[in-house]
Structure 1
Amino acid sequence: MRRVGVSAAARRVALLLVLVLGLAACQVNIEVGIGFNEDGSGLVTVDVALDQEAVTLAPDITSLLLIEDIEDPASGWSYNDPRIDDQGRTSFSASKPFGSPEQLESVLAEIFGSDDVFRDITFERTTSFAQTDYRVTGVVDLSDGLDLFIDPRLTERLGGEPLGQPIPDLENALAGVSVRLVLDLPVGAEQEETLELGQGAVSIEMTAQEESATAVTLRWVAWAAFALLGLSVLVAIAGYFLERRNRRRSTDPTVSQEPLVRSTTSAAPQPPARRLRLVVLNPLGVLFEPSDEPSQLLAAFAAERGSEMDAESVEQLHHQAVLGRITPAELWTGLGLDDNPDELTEQYLDQYTMRSGARDFMTEMARRELPVACLTNDIASWSSALRDRLQITGVDTWIVSSEVGVCMPAPGIYEALRRTTAVPYENALLVDVRAGHLDAAHALGMSTAMLAESRPQDGEAPGHAVVTSFSDFFRRRPRS
């Protein structure tokens, strides 16, 4: 069905065709571009290009295209100034956005003034785990030929001639016009279709696919995980059968236990697997006295200064501080103490003194060139202040819970020690006053020794070597 009112864009195209077709021997190229967004909206662009001969024969065509009664700002079309392309042609273009595939058909109808040229336009977008698929379909019908460009109002304006002047050779005029349709999908895919005036209905279809880089990566990671799982199962099975075979060979008297290849040189003696390379001390209780649980010592200190917080609450607050989650000032405030935080810290740390024999022990470790590390659940600034106060020397590494964010007996703090010192667990000895800390270290493979006030009675053995003074280390070897 032909529209009664033709838009400014359609009148522009019609006027251009009138002039070019009237010249017959000249060429005009019409390009209709449709660019889609992901949601089905987009932009229609109409580009009409004339060769130099056409412009020479109709020098005032530019002014005809820009006269006020043809330009219609309310139509929604945007017009660009005429330009010269790289082939020497003069091009005129207009564009108009659309919000949906349905609205697209009405915008396209304005180009030729007919609902029948572009019809049944569809836009589909489907998504799956790793990709998005796009599909555009429709029909383009240019069978009306030159009738598409005849406008009664324009005919009257041009003196009664439907195309501005008689066309003696209609076939030649049609040959001078080309129509190109360009579809552009969101993934950057583009498809072109060249059509001819007078050509019947042509079905168009375009598909494109976009893969999600993140989803593809996850898919490959999943495949790799399955492959590693399968490999680990195979390795486990192979190890099981090898172990069975070795056990069978070791118990079979008919199988020689001699090595298959004898060494021609004597093997160098190997050092024992558990050679001690690092002594680890918990300074709170080992280097410093008293050996009370720090949270209990803190609770008694706070109670003496008027805090009404119960022991369990103090322990929870202290735990947050030694994990580095609250500052010392926030700890004192939480305990309900309003005195100067620095002064409270000074008074609290005044309770600690150096344990008897500790300095001699450190000197002996240095003489034996045996490194010493400290591992402690403490606030970093408090630990540093105690080192300065008591003039601690000879410690190569300090691992403080508030700096690593984990406390003994959690495995993470022992792992921080291992990584920092590069000493395997089996080559390290931990000396502590708390059985829980020693139990966790022993489970990881460390040698352990408990520093206690007295030796345990029968049936009270804590599962670790027990020493009552530093001199015990030089009289006996702690049990691993």
Structure 2
Amino acid sequence: MRSAVLALGLALLVAACRVDTSVHVEVEDAGSGTVTVVFNADAVAVSRVPELAGGLLFDDARAAGWAVEGPLFRADGGVQIRAVKRFESAGQLPQVLEELAGKDVIFTGVVLEQTRSFAETSYRFQADINPTPPLDDFSDDALAAIFDGQPFGRPLQDLIAEAGTPEDSLGFEFLLTLIDSDDAFDASSAAFGVDGELEDEMVELSPEVDGSTATWRFSYGDRPVRVGASTMISDTLAPLWLNIARVAGIAFGALLLGVGVAKLVALLRAPRGRGRRATRRRQQRAAAREAEASRPRKRLLRLLVVDVHGVIVRPTDPREGLLLPVILGENPDIDPELIRDRHRMLVLGRLTAEEFWSDLGLGPIGRDVETRYLSSFKLVPGLHQFLDRVASRSLPVAAVGNQPREWGLRLRRMAELEDSVSSWLVSGDVGAVLPERSLFEATRRVMSVDLYDCLYLSSVPEYLDAASDMGMATGYFAASPEDVQETEHTLIRGYDDILRGRSTGT
């Protein structure tokens, strides 16, 4: 993370820009959790320090276990960098926080304690936060050596005089979530005085509390603060289950005693030899029932699931094969990586179609470009004839695919598939993309069918692998010879093969 901190420090010192940093510690059960860091730099910072827009290297952070996302371009010209790292125990949290800017730079004395007792678990967090670390801490030793001991290439006082006060440029926010629950949660803070001693709590230091999350906000120049929070998680069912277990234990003991007495009476009354023969017969019948239960049941075809892209319409990869050419044909100056990033958020349901076109600078004509894009899809030959035959056999059809909900509904109407396709679930509906399990699980719930009784057709082998792992029957759909890839799934050469009752394996 040191490369990001260095660039942000340079941004603060070269112009009157704005850089905000947010650190969110989320504590889960057993003392594990995540640390999420979000850097937001405004357009002025990006213009003065171009490295913020793509020149930063995060290899060291990724090697240390951080999942880094960004830089992501914001609509206002700024950028956002997001990094997340898990800690598996309370003892690992101080080390993770040290990795942000160095030891004892921002966070010191970090303590996370978990105490368990019967039906209750308590959590306590405490840390000293310095929102005004020395600006030298944002420098780099290698740069200092190059510039004759000046870590930023010039005397720090000269840079501050030119840039203005860091208090107006640097914002810091610390959020703490102690077990997301409805139980009692308490947070507090106190400032350090000039002599380093803690002073009484002050109103302006009080955190904002929302549920089990506390938020402290600082500006550069604020005094060091000690923050703390605690919560108590109560298991209201534990005493009840203890009483139930006691009653159950007494009842079970009485049952065992009754069974033992009954067996003893039956043994005494049965003629010699009859008891052993009856026991053998019971054992044989039990073995037969167990063998029958372990035999795989016959697969019943109760639902046909098809991939929207590749099985209903072409192309199979609409983003690269269709969306990018349409948008770049309208405005070739748009960054293709920006299109890919916004499209990923769109298909996950995190952006609306209007926000998508607005972020690309096509807001006024976005609807027209969208219509031209959706109209460019081609139905796979033989689709409607195949669906008519499936309908005549009373076999329902469900469609799944990676696309935003609004585009999916429009494409379904344009292809006249409202009646012939019973269910149309896309990634925008569930917030997950294929080959994740969510779309298949959602289809199973909507159609009330066991996945074991479903046949899934797709032109993407990775999607078929995921469906097969969930127990579905699969078919690799290749509408043309050039589409055929090497796969272990049954090969179906377009709808003509199905209509003629023909399919082959690879």
Q: TM-score, normalised by structure 1?
A: 0.44
| Greater share of helix | 2
Larger radius of gyration: 1
